[in-house]
Amino acid sequence: TLVKLFNPLSRELDVMRGDMLPGLLENLAFNLNHQISNLKIFEFGKIYRYDEKVDFNAEVSIRYPEKQQLALVVTGLRENESWEKDQRKADFYYLHAILRKIFQRTGFNMRMLKIVEAQNPFYEQGVNLLYKNEVLAWLGIVSKKMLQKFDIHQEVVAAIIDWDKLTSLSMQSSIEYREIPRFPEVRRDLALLVDNRVKFAEIETLAWQTENRLLRQVNLFDIYVGEKIGMGKKSYAISFILQDKEKTLTDETIEKTMAKLIKAFEQKLGAQLR
């Protein structure tokens, strides 16, 4: 429940901030109206809520919890127009990569993170980033209905991190230093056709269970849903990073590893290669 003010400055400012997104969209709209269309904006701030479930006699800080959050929005191109650079959009997967970098810099173990598709009235397509079923962050393409309220006419991707939770977890982790690997990484991509009920988190978990010696990273970089692949289906484009700490990977080892992963996806998730 939002926290109402007894003596607001105006009707528009009669509650304390309950979500970071509207303020960032207002900032985006201001810049877009001044012909600045390629934007990346972040803000650290607090949100305020009233918890109706807490006993009225409890401490004020418990009844009115404050949460520190880091919010990010991107829109337009990743880089300003230049003949030296590709004109790539700052899209869902671009901001997702930034989120993962932030988590890594805090020392969070990325293998403990689960990505689950989620429904949110502010987003058309969104995911939650979970640790032990607790939401640490959420990411999504802002809905057109929400953008219309701010007179924004181009795609906007937003992410919000529960900074209090993330920093609390990072303080519990220890920093470990290792020798820089002497042998190169190898990347392989798969396009997996699965039922709508199958979540990326299931694929990621199964990948680590199937191959934990050579596998270093599992990343989702595209989701496709459309008539070309049939009703009730979706396609995940996933990259797998492999590396052996003791020697350079051979083509034979790479192919065997990928074949093992594909077999596991087919047998346990009913996946098909596109």
Radius of gyration of the CA atoms of the chain, in A = 22
Every domain range in the chain assigned CATH 3.30.70.380: 186-273
Q: Is residue 153 within 8 Å of 199, Cβ to Cβ?
A: no
Confidence (pLDDT) at 26: 94
Confidence (pLDDT) at 10: 75
Confidence (pLDDT) at 19: 85
Sheet containing strand 123-131, strands side by side: 39-48, 66-75, 156-162, 134-142, 123-131, 114-118
pLDDT in tens, the chain (274 residues): 777 777 777 776 777 788 889 899 999 999 999 999 999 999 999 988 877 777 767 777 677 778 899 999 999 998 877 766 777 888 888 898 899 889 888 888 777 788 887 888 888 888 888 888 889 999 999 999 999 999 999 999 999 999 999 988 877 777 777 788 889 999 999 999 999 888 887 898 899 899 988 999 888 888 888 878 888 889 999 999 999 988 999 999 999 999 999 999 999 999 999 8
| Strand extents, DSSP E, 114-196 | 114-118, 123-131, 134-142, 156-162, 186-195
Quickly tell me which residue has 């937003």 as its tokens.
158
> pTM of the full predicted structure?
0.71
Contacts of 124 (CB under 8 A, 6+ apart): 140, 141, 142, 143, 144
The architecture in CATH of the region 11-172 reads 2-Layer Sandwich (3.30)
Coil/strand/helix, residue 273: strand
Pairwise CA distance, residues 167 & 165, whole Å: 6
Tally Cβ neighbours within 10 Å of residue 116.
16
Every domain range in the chain assigned CATH 3.30.930.10: 11-172
Domain 186-273 in this protein, CATH class? alpha beta
